[in-house]
A and B are shown apart, each in its own frame.
Chain A
Amino acid sequence: MKAIVAVKRVIDYNVKVRVKADNSDVDLANTKMSINPFCEIAVEEAVRLKEAGTVSEIVVVSVGPKAVQEQMRYAMALGADRGIQVETAAAPSSLDVARLLAKINEEENADLFILGKQAIDSDNNQTGQMLAALLDIPQATFASEVKIADGKAEVTREVDGGLVTLEMDLPAVVTTDLRLNEPRFAALPKIMQAKRKPLAVKTVEELGVTLSNSTELLSVEPPAERQAGIKVGSVDELLDKLRNDAQVL
């Protein structure tokens, strides 16, 4: 069984995000970049399925400039077998990425697609769903448990107020939630091996996909600065402030 795992290079989750002075975008100059945490969970899940003998090959795919190879090598150090980078300098939309993945699958014919439920930079939560629609295959989003048996996937999904368990025919798309697993640390010998694993580079043109550019980033605003608080002398005063100044009661 072949699994395709898509990974995105994003600003590291520990980094305090800065906005460019002209509000045109987030400032990524000299910023630590990492694999999107949900994508890392997707890689980990695929590796566990491989260790369990369910999956035989893990193909990691990323879309972006050469730098995304860092995150692809990291996925390989965790256990992915080979990589396909779609080289582009543009920031593709979710739909573009889904179309590129669908195109890649024409050659790969994967049985399982594991994607992060969303990327922590754009927070779109779209690519997995769009990929399932384009391929016309079932999807299970926000997975907290994945079991594969007899050509079917049983996926427990985290939904508001509880859990939903679905059974789907394969091939299918799964998007990962935080509690699906806790990714391992990459082991030193695997980091060394990852350098030698095959990584193919394709261009958007080679894949015959035209990026839609259907969305445009207009501006980015940092959250409002927190104002200094005040000290109140009594509970009565607190209630008064909440009622009259803050008007929350």
Chain B
Amino acid sequence: MNIYNAPAQDTAFVLDQLVQFDKLCEAMHLEEVNLELANVIVEEAGKLASEVLAPLNAVGDSNGAKLSDDKVQESPGYSDAYQQYMENGWATLTAPEAFGGQALPNVVGTAVNELWHSANMAFALCPMLTQGSIEALIAHGSDELQQAYLPRLVSGEWTGTMNLTEPAAGSDLAAVATKAVPNGDHYLITGQKIYITWGDHQMTPNIVHLVLARLPDAPAGVKGISLFIVPKFLLDENGEPGELNDAKCIALEHKLGIHASPTCTMSFGDNGGAVGYIVGEENKGLAYMFTMMNHARQSVGLQGLSISERAYQQAAWYAKDRTQGSRKDGTKIPIIEHPDVRRMLMAQRAGCEAMRGLALIAAAEIDRAHAGAAGASERVELLTPIVKGWMTEMANELTSLNIQVHGGMGFIEESGAPQHYRDARILAIYEGTNGIQALDLIGRKTLSDQGAALAALLDEMAGVEAELRAAGLDKFANRYAASVARGAEVREWILENAGADRQTMGAVAFDFLMLMGYLSGAWVMAKSAASAKALDAQESAYGAPFLSAKVATARFYAEHYLPRVEQHAQTLMTGLDAAFVLTDEQF
């Protein structure tokens, strides 16, 4: 069985207790938005997710997108599902009202996006990329481009793509070679882009490609890249899709997972040049990309939660259904009663709940930053690589645990467990590999401000110890306080050792990323446990079973995951210098 139910109650708890959603809405001057509305929205989105999108997940895995006659045909059922998604207005959730959006906070969009990605990650990538192109146009597009493209992108009538990567330009976008030549009121684009998610499909009458390319006189490197809009169909005088542009998908990748998400090789300008329109100013394309990066990276981190939650639900169902061994009275024992299976289920559950808390807190910080709250931008910058890096590493571990819970059946495709494991594997790679995230965290987010934003976060974390003690969770508080103190030591160590040897920072960056991930997860779970203890089980809408499960899950997190902070701290403070003893040739 591979059914999916939206974890609406936990989402409500996080929005209510950790994000303090009603206060956030007040700060954002959103009079009509409150927790009650957010809960209704999450619940209703959950219906579409579990009843329409989730059943198509396995269909898309075994019937991936196909290319023929320069056209990509999406997986069966996906177009109908997309129409339903669009007609029910889900694409409009967070976009500004001026372009037809509902202008809801980013954190609500994030809570809802979790459900789409859990139900069907390959499907949900399409709206996710569209959202990226919407943000780019809102932030940097001319009025004319905004009027022409934004309303249809916001409504979901058209979808968007992001064309960055080229065969020789992956993590290093300075190497982008696609050309853009001015030609009257537009540019002619020529070149090839790879790994273009949902680069083509037949679900909508138009697709809007955002393309990074270089002008003929552009400076070399990162300062010579511009951003263009290249529609699949050029717009006629009425603004409707007309003539086919000189841009097409020429190949689909054969991938480990997300088979229903067409990963296209896009060829621009095979017949003289694709018509493109510049977004913003010349040579600023890469800087524009960076303005969208926090949101995009947090979205991928969120996918890590989503796929882990889906895998957890499957594992929990299987563990209750599958019996092995007999009791003395002859009745069979469901494997959930076996302690090691229980350990794995709790590891999945605690991981998911910590990730949900962190993802929504980080998403709400983006809202706070927009509302101008002090320190919010710095917090967003700091949390983003942790959300992306740690949560996607967790996804690999937790989807693997789902397979393990299934035993031999987990290795069999028909069980559905392998798909989540395969689908999850891309998350640590795309939108900046986790190596890149780790460098971002230790360099741009820690060393560049002398650890100031990190110190502020560690201080805030330290404050939760008192909440744990007040809630009577002393053992938890002891573990937690020791880990936070270890985090502060590591911060000092990094600041002290950074000057001497930059190579060391690169070598230990990943351990730092993971350390901060486990510590942030502990912070979230500590806050959750303290809140759950403080709520009156009789009066609270969450009820005694939910609240006591929350406290126990948090305790499991502290016992199972928190010691990993110590492990990463020890590794990190060795400097890992043995990694540089061998010559390249010795590998």
Contacts and interface: CB of A to CB of B under 8 A. Distances in A.
A191 B541 contact: no
A30 B546 contact: yes
Given A29-B543, A73-B40, A195-B37, A189 B92 contact: yes
B503 interface: no
Given A185-B44, A185-B88, A191 B37 contact: yes
Interface string B326-365: 0000010000000000000000000000000000000000
A228 interface: yes
Nearest to B542: A30
A173 to B, nearest CB: 29
Interface of B: prevailing SS: helix
Given A30-B542, A30-B546, A195-B37, A188 B89 contact: yes
A220 interface: no
Nearest to B47: A185
A190 B40 CA distance: 12
Number of chain A interface residues as a range: 10 to 19
A196 interface: yes
A74 B47 CA distance: 13
B87 interface: yes
Contact of A191 (B40, B542, B544): B40
A28 B148 CA distance: 52
A191 B543 contact: no
A196 B92 contact: no
A189 B102 contact: yes
Contact of A186 (B37, B44, B92, B541): B44
Contact of B331 (A29, A30, A195, A228): A228
Contacts of A30: 541-546
B541 A185 contact: no
A30 B84 CA distance: 32
A34 B40 CA distance: 11
Contact of B102 (A29, A77, A188): A188
A17 interface: no
Contacts of A70: 40
B93 interface: yes
A195 B542 CA distance: 24
Interface string B15-44: 000000000000000001000010011001
Nearest to B329: A228
Interface residues of B, number: 24
Most buried by B among A29, A30, A187, A189: A30
B289 to A, nearest CB: 29
Contacts of A190: 89
B88 A187 contact: yes
A79 to B, nearest CB: 13
Interface string B541-563: 11111100000000000000000
Interface string B64-93: 000000000000000000001001111011
Most buried by A among B41, B51, B87, B88: B88
A187 B90 CA distance: 7
A185 B84 contact: yes
Nearest to B90: A188
A192 interface: yes
B380 interface: no
A139 B93 CA distance: 42
B543 A187 contact: no
Contacts of A74: 40
Given A30-B545, A188-B102, 17 more contacts: A30-B546, A74-B40, A77-B44, A185-B48, A185-B51, A185-B84, A185-B88, A186-B44, A188-B45, A188-B90, A188-B93, A189-B102, A190-B89, A191-B37, A192-B32, A192-B102, A195-B37
Interface of B: 32, 37, 40-41, 44-45, 47-48, 51, 84, 87-90, 92-93, 102, 331, 541-546
11 contacts: A30-B546, A73-B40, A77-B40, A185-B47, A185-B51, A186-B44, A188-B92, A188-B93, A189-B92, A196-B32, A228-B331
Interface of A: 29-30, 70, 73-74, 77, 185-192, 195-196, 228
Of all A-B residue pairs in the complex, the 4 with the closest CB atoms, nearest first, are: A30-B543, A188-B89, A187-B88, A189-B89
